[in-house]
Chains A and B, each alone.
Chain A
Amino acid sequence: MKLETFRSDDSPDRAAMDRMLAACREEMKVAPPSTWRVDLARLLAGCWALAAATLAVLTATGELGAVTAHAALPALSLLGAGAACAFLGVSPSAHRGWALLAVAAAAAAMLGVHLEVTDRVDAGPGWLCTVSHLGLGAGPLVFGVLVMRKAAVSPLRALLIGLAAGTTGALVGELACARSWEHVAVFHLGAWASLGLIALAVSRFVRPRSFAP
């Protein structure tokens, strides 16, 4: 007996095959789900719209002053990192690891800029920034988890989707908070990483609707 005898089901159970095909035919009658490109656009649009709306509210209430030029680099890095994380977390691409480099670059830009900023005395404890960051990321994270179910769940995909959701809060925090780099490292980057880890933890319980890569 050779291993090759396992190549195909040599005792085809016609009834089982018919059941499988019937299930697929039923599935084909259902309206097709949104494509990954649409999901990606929705995720990014959601993150950016939420960040823009929050910044608009902060500006209107006087909480956010004129955004200084030094914030441009980390803000752009964050937008880039968010897009990279969302793209590589949602798309079928196999090169997901690259997004982590974008995240590292954005985090370095955030810290680097804050190293040069004079510590501003802000009212309220530091953890408020963390709570705000987590709150802003919650909506995109829920949507991201729903998107996650549409393909095979992998830890890296989950992490990237969580980090993509976290860029909303990171962007707002970067523009609205001018505290020291230590504060950014603990309360902002910590919150950002937490969203990635939450997505990772949730992914263990997610039942995917598809196992496609």
Chain B
Amino acid sequence: MDEPSDEELMRRFCGGDHSAFEALFSRHAGRVRAYLRGMVGDAALAEDLAQATFLSVVRSKDRYQRGSSFSTWLFAIATNAARDALRRRGTEQSARETLKAEEEHSVDGPTGDPGLRKELEVALQGLPATQREVVLLHQVQGLSYQQISSTLGITQTAARIRSHRGFARLRELLSHLDLEGVS
């Protein structure tokens, strides 16, 4: 039997079915957390923001427009949460410092080469937030430019330009590494 779509689950959740929310949570929590980690460069903060994102889904389910893409709406919430956190934290430079400090003390890491992943994370923090969010949404989360346009409230052309510039900058920042995978 086909699994219900996100939109169907959201419709059920809006109708009072809490298990539908749990299904949405289990589908998207990992992606949202990973996206937020890329945005803020801080695992603990990303966890808090992921929680705030899903709490926002619960509190503002009436603001979800039926028929629209759930993942687009969810990433719009996550982006707003990340922007708010970055604004409160002050300069984006501090994010890079946090990551570098984490890098020095990190003992565990995700699969693959943890050191390389850290390098990528640090490089991501070197991008302006507007480019970082587009790079993460497009190159990492696989959202189309049309979806990014809806998520961020920008034109598709602006999304393409930011993605292109962000990716070019990322390659520049990672020029000292093997760029095989960053292409």
B142 an interface residue at 8 Å Cβ cutoff? yes
A-B residue pair count with CB separations less than 8 angstroms: 134
CB pair A24 B25 closer than 8 Å: yes
Contact mask A21-54 → B, CB, 8 Å, 1/0? Answer: 1011101100011011100000000000000000
**A9 and B65 within 8 A (CB):** no
* A213 contacts B80, C-beta separation under 8 Å: yes
Of A11-19, A56-64, A119-127, A186-194, the one touching chain B: A11-19
Q: Given the interface contacts A1-B116, A3-B140, A9-B30, does A20 sit within 8 Å of B181 by beta carbon?
A: no
From B2-10, B93-101, B104-112, the one touching the partner chain is B104-112
Q: List 19 A-B contacts (CB under 8 A).
A: A3-B135, A7-B142, A9-B34, A10-B34, A16-B47, A20-B25, A20-B51, A20-B54, A23-B54, A28-B21, A32-B61, A94-B153, A210-B59, A210-B77, A211-B78, A212-B57, A212-B73, A212-B80, A213-B77
Count residues on chain B whose CB falls below 8 Å from chain A CBs. Answer: 54
- Is the pair B120, A209 in contact by a Cβ cutoff of 8 Å? no
Q: Does B31 reach chain A (CB closer than 8 Å)?
A: yes
Interface residues of B in 33-67 (CB under 8 A from A): 33-35, 37-38, 47, 50-65
Q: Which of A21, A35, A36 meets B25, CB within 8 Å?
A: A21
**B residues in contact with A36, CB < 8 Å:** 62-63
Using C-beta atoms within 8 Å of the partner chain, give the interface range for chain A.
35 or more
Residue of B nearest to A34 (CB): B62
Specify the chain B residue showing the minimal Cβ separation from A91.
Answer: B63
Partner of A211, one of B30, B80, B109: B80
B164 at the A interface (CB under 8 A): no
| Residues of B bordering A, CB below 8 Å | 18, 21-22, 25, 29-31, 33-35, 37-38, 47, 50-65, 73, 76-78, 80-81, 84, 108-113, 116-117, 120, 135-136, 139-142, 153, 181-182
Shortest distance from the beta carbon of B35 to any chain A beta carbon, whole Å: 8
Q: B110 contacts A11, CB within 8 Å?
A: yes
Residues of B close to A5: CB separation below 8 A:
110-112, 117
CA distance A209 to B73 in the complex (A): 17
B78 CB to nearest A CB, Å: 8
Min Cβ gap A60→B in Å is 40
Given pairs A1-B116, A6-B38, A211-B78, 16 additional interface contacts (CB within 8 A): A2-B181, A3-B182, A4-B139, A7-B140, A8-B34, A11-B110, A13-B47, A24-B54, A24-B58, A27-B58, A33-B59, A152-B84, A153-B84, A210-B59, A210-B60, A212-B73
Contacts of A7 in B (CB 8 A): 31, 34, 140-142
CA A35 – CA B30 in complex, angstroms? 29
The answer for the CA separation of A182 and B136 in the assembled complex, in Å, is 52
Q: Which residue of A lies closest to B68 (CB)?
A: A92
Minimum CB–CB distance from B79 to chain A (whole Å) comes to 8
- Which residue of A has the minimal Cβ distance to B58? A27
Give the distance to chain B from A158, nearest Cβ to Cβ, in Å: 13
Nearest neighbor of B81 in chain A, beta-carbon distance: A211
Contact with B along A142-183 (1 / 0, CB 8 A): 000000001111000000000000000000000000000000
Whether A212 pairs with B181 at a CB distance below 8 angstroms is: no
Q: Which residue of B lies closest to A16 (CB)?
A: B47
State in angstroms the CA–CA spacing of A65 and B170 once bound together: 68
Query: How far apart are the CA atoms of A94 and B73 in the complex, in Å?
Result: 12
Taking A1-B113, A2-B181, A213-B73 as contacts, is the C-beta distance between A19 and B56 under 8 angstroms? no
- What is the distance, in angstroms, from B49's C-beta to the closest C-beta of chain A? 9
B76–A20 touching, CB < 8 Å: no
